[in-house]
Structure 1
Amino acid sequence: MASTSPRRLPRGRHALAPEEVARIQRERLCRAMAEVMSEKGYAATAVEDVLKHAGVSRQTFYRVFSSKQDCFLASFEMACSVSLDRMLVPAEGEDPLERCELALDHYLRTVAAELPFARLFLIEAFAAGPEAIRRRAGREAAMASALAGVLGVTDDGGRFTCRTVVSAICAMAAPPVARKDLDALHAVGPAMIAHVRRLWAAGAFGEGTGPRR
């Protein structure tokens, strides 16, 4: 997706079209929401905090969003676009475990580069109400399905193993993201890959995995 860094909106005859202005303001507010919450958490973040961080007026905020939660949910979807949709980029190679390793490494690097959005998905969604939790669960399920595709998993047991792996990655990444500890975050990757290899060797991903006979 395009960069969402705050930018000044041009004035005068070269001013942007209203639709483009609305898009920029929306992205600016979403990023501000994520960045403020990365410091204060969802419960302690007020609309006023977001306005100050984004440098926009209250009138502009309520022209774009109906409430703090509405802005959060839009920020959540942006977080998914920034981080989760890039988790499992197409990886070349015939070895499914090598593809998995590349995918997880790419995901954790993206998370490290976008810590505010990562925190929003991994941590703050649980404080933002049932709809945010529902969306998070849906995204986690999509990640598990994508991981199954990378590994070539087709049976129900293997898909369940993929779900447990994704849940473990999210759970292990959350504390380093909360602490902004990049070293600990990057350490999650090798540990998880080693675990995936053990599960693969044990046949936990279903048909086609486990020891060669």
Structure 2
Amino acid sequence: MPSTSSRRLPRGRHALAPEEVARIQRERLCRAMAEVMSEKGYAATAVEDVLKHAGVSRQTFYRIFSSKQDCFLASFETACAVSLERMPAPGDGDPIERCEAALVHHLRTVAAELPFARLFLIEAFAAGPEAIRRRADREAAMTAALAGLLGVRDDGGRFTCRMVVSAICAMVAPPVARKDLDALHAVGPAMTAHVRRLWDAGAFGAGTGPR
């Protein structure tokens, strides 16, 4: 996640360009939205809660966002921004090892950014149809990334990838809600072992399975 999101603007006159000021304020508000919701949930979070947490004025908030949901959707995009970053690239080598490396990276990202992870995994369902649509789009992108890592090319294999991604999201959500990092990291080895069993059974389609 952007490290500048919690950066405070200097008091008094400063040399930051207006665009940089707006960017910092936007990031602070997005992080505040995620952090407040991680404690109160979407429905119980008010704009005033976000303002207090971010240390930003109401005027500034409404200059950047049109509503609480607008801020939520921006926070959601921030949560998604790193989900496919630094992922192993498709290529040579054992596909299950690439899958394992991707899953380890994903779980580390989730553990480092629990409020944003909760926003994606849980609170999106409370934020309305647009948030749910964007969540589905992100799961589709994760499915495509997994298919690329495994070299999957047929519809049956892509459906298996979709099942794996859905299972990961479902299994990660409860530890995120409880802030249980041990349970969160335990998902990785069990899921990797299951993906290998699916691979050995040829469940990812033509060209997969034992070699």
- TM-score (normalised: structure 1): 0.95
What do the CA deviations read for 1:2-47 (whole angstroms, capped 9, x no partner)? 4134222135553311111000000000000000000000000000
Q: Is the 8 A contact 1:91 1:102 kept in 2?
A: no
> Quick one: distance in 2 between partners of 1:127 and 1:2?
25
Q: Which residue of 2 aligns with 1:26?
A: 26
Deviation at 1:208, TM superposition (A): 1.6
Q: Tell me how large the CA RMSD over aligned residues is.
A: 1.5
> Quick one: distance in 2 between partners of 1:91 and 1:14?
45
Residue 94 of structure 1 aligns to a residue whose secondary structure is coil
> Quick one: distance in 1 between partners of 2:5 and 2:24?
9
Q: Which residue of 1 aligns with 2:37?
A: 37
Determine what percentage of the aligned residue pairs are the same residue. 86
Counterpart of 1:32, as a letter, is: A
Runs (4+) of structure 1 exceeding 3 A deviation are 11-14
Q: In 2 relative to 1, CA 56–69 (structure 1 residues): closer, same or farther, beyond 3 Å?
A: same
> Quick one: distance in 2 between partners of 1:88 and 1:19?
30
What do the CA deviations read for 1:158-209 (whole angstroms, capped 9, x no partner)? 0010000000000000000000000000000011001101100110001122
Alignment gaps of 5+ in structure 1? none
Q: Which residue of 2 aligns with 1:154?
A: 153
Deviation at 1:91, TM superposition (A): 7.0
What do the CA deviations read for 1:135-168 (whole angstroms, capped 9, x no partner)? 0000000000000000001111000100000000
Q: Which residue of 1 aligns with 2:116?
A: 117
Deviation at 1:81, TM superposition (A): 1.0
- Counterparts of 1:38-187 in structure 2 under 5 Å? 38-82=38-82, 84-86=83-85, 88-90=87-89, 94-187=93-186
Counterpart of 1:127, as a letter, is: A
Alignment gaps of 5+ in structure 2? none
Residue 42 of structure 2 aligns to a residue whose secondary structure is coil
- TM-score (normalised: structure 2): 0.95
